[in-house]
Structure 1
Amino acid sequence: MNRATFAIVPGFLLGCLFLILFTRWIASPNLTVQAAGEISVSPTPTLALTADVTADHEEVGADEECSISPRYPDKVRRWCALIEKYATENGLDPNLIAAVILQESGGNPEAYSKSGAVGLMQVMPRDGLAANFMCKNGPCFASRPSMEELFDPEFNIAYGTRMLAGLINRTGDIREALRAYGPINVGYYYADLVLKIYEAYR
């Protein structure tokens, strides 16, 4: 080995190490990711809270079997076991539920929108900001679960998937169901965003 090689090899190895550490840092589940739309995060997510969430719920790592397309980011695929379970129970493609989660929360179970929608699938609860939405006969979301329930990833996926399946059964069309699932007064904009993700990622 000559002197030039002695100078280049350590620099190359340090650069590789930095790149590996940087990509792991970017993929960290503790980083905040905001999906397209009006998603914000509750102000005090902590490392301990994230650890509790991951300990209490089944998740899937990159090395385990998962029917969700590997094109979805790890922050969505980490919920693979729950997505598969409730998608199968409701007769839906897990990739469709993954597309909704990617659009709604980016895979962040603590996501909280400006309109008051909560969790992975951004379901409107009966309390919090959503309690201010009034319909003819009183609060629009009075029959919905609480924010506390919807911040639980398994409960959120189970409820959101069941709700979407019910809308598909009622309308007979995925696009129409997504239109009803999404924000009010955006027409098919939301439905088309989710369907583009679904087509691009599966």
Structure 2
Amino acid sequence: MKLLCSGLLWLLFCAPASAEALQWYAVPAETAPPAVPAAALPVSPAARPEPAAAPKPLSSSAQRYRPLIDDVARQHALDPMLIHAVVQVESAYRPEAVSGKGAVGLMQLMPATAARFGQTALYDPRANLQAGAAYLDWLMNRFGGRMDLALAAYNAGEGAVARYGNAIPPYAETRDYVRKVMAHYAGLKGEADAAPMADAAPVSAPRRPRRAAGGLGDMEQFWRLFTGGSPRSPAARL
């Protein structure tokens, strides 16, 4: 028995120094899955951006007057598509159109209003577009660049807009007119929809320098003296 224990002790302490020590191995961590390119990830339909709407093409009638409209719009720093929208709603591009109240031509101008801007031959497309563009330019300046107010004034008269505190008058015809023109303008621009009309507090529009009105003074005031109304009353439509 003593010999057996001695042998075991000898084997324990006298083992060759070259014997390998026991190795401890760490379990390798789980590797992350390879990254997926962003382009390969599915996109939720709700997250996809809506494609831009294509601009509405001009009608054949509009194309006929496009060079003239481009020219007068450039002279008055207006978007030609705004003039197209007004002409479409006013006369549908009929230069011979006359309203029951006497508004004439492509942009349906009252003779007194056109005279303020030096034009009298309102059946002539160029003269009519010149006067209408000049009037729109004047109204945009008068109402601080507010397109909705300029269009309301074009329909009902600048006096009506001013009487309601520089807000769109509560006339159903005028409000409908503004909506129609702005919707058509938005379509021609390729926009989803026109900006909604503001029915809230009226905006105080700063006055900017006005264009000369052909040296004839404010013919609207002259018109009111004899008719008791605005030359662009809501009833003055086709």
TM-score normalised by L of structure 2: 0.46
1:176 and 2:149 equivalent? yes
Alignment of 1:117-156 (within 5 A): 117-126=103-112, 143-144=115-116, 149-156=121-128
Alignment of 1:4-153 (within 5 A): 71-126=57-112, 143-144=115-116, 149-153=121-125
Equivalent in the alignment of 2:213: none
Give the number of the structure whose residues are more often strand, by fraction. 1
Report the secondary structure of 1:118's partner residue.
Answer: coil
Q: Distance in 2 between matches of 1:142 and 1:163?
A: 8
Q: Distance in 2 between matches of 1:201 and 1:176?
A: 20
The CA deviation at 1:193 is 1.1
Equivalent in the alignment of 1:26: none
Structure with more relative contact order (C-alpha pairs < 8 Å, separation 6 or more): 2
Structure 1 residue ranges (4+ consecutive) displaced by more than 3 angstroms after TM superposition: 141-148, 183-187
Q: 1:86 to 1:119 in 2, by over 3 A?
A: same
Q: 1:148 to 1:168 in 2, by over 3 A?
A: closer
Q: Distance in 1 between matches of 2:58 and 2:135?
A: 22
Q: Distance in 2 between matches of 1:157 and 1:95?
A: 13
**Higher mean C-alpha displacement, 146-155 vs 115-124:** 146-155
Q: 1:142 to 1:174 in 2, by over 3 A?
A: closer
Equivalent in the alignment of 2:186: 199
Equivalent pair of 1:110/1:119 in contact (CA under 8 Å):
yes
Q: 1:110 to 1:147 in 2, by over 3 A?
A: farther
Unaligned residue ranges in structure 1 (runs of 5+)? 1-68, 127-140
Report the secondary structure of 1:166's partner residue.
Answer: helix
Q: Distance in 2 between matches of 1:160 and 1:99?
A: 12
Q: Report which of the two structures shows the higher radius of gyration computed on alpha carbons.
A: 2
Q: Distance in 2 between matches of 1:74 and 1:144?
A: 31
Q: Distance in 2 between matches of 1:125 and 1:152?
A: 13
Equivalent in the alignment of 2:136: 164
Equivalent in the alignment of 1:51: none
Report the secondary structure of 2:85's partner residue.
Answer: helix
Give the number of the structure whose residues are more often helix, by fraction. 1
Q: Distance in 2 between matches of 1:125 and 1:78?
A: 24
Unaligned residue ranges in structure 2 (runs of 5+)? 1-54, 158-170, 190-238
Q: Which amino acid aligns with 2:129?
A: I
The CA deviation at 1:145 is 7.7
Equivalent pair of 1:119/1:151 in contact (CA under 8 Å):
yes
Q: Which amino acid aligns with 1:119?
A: G
Q: Distance in 2 between matches of 1:160 and 1:110?
A: 15
What root-mean-square deviation, in Å, do the aligned CA atoms of Structure 1 and Structure 2 show? 2.3
Q: Distance in 2 between matches of 1:88 and 1:146?
A: 18
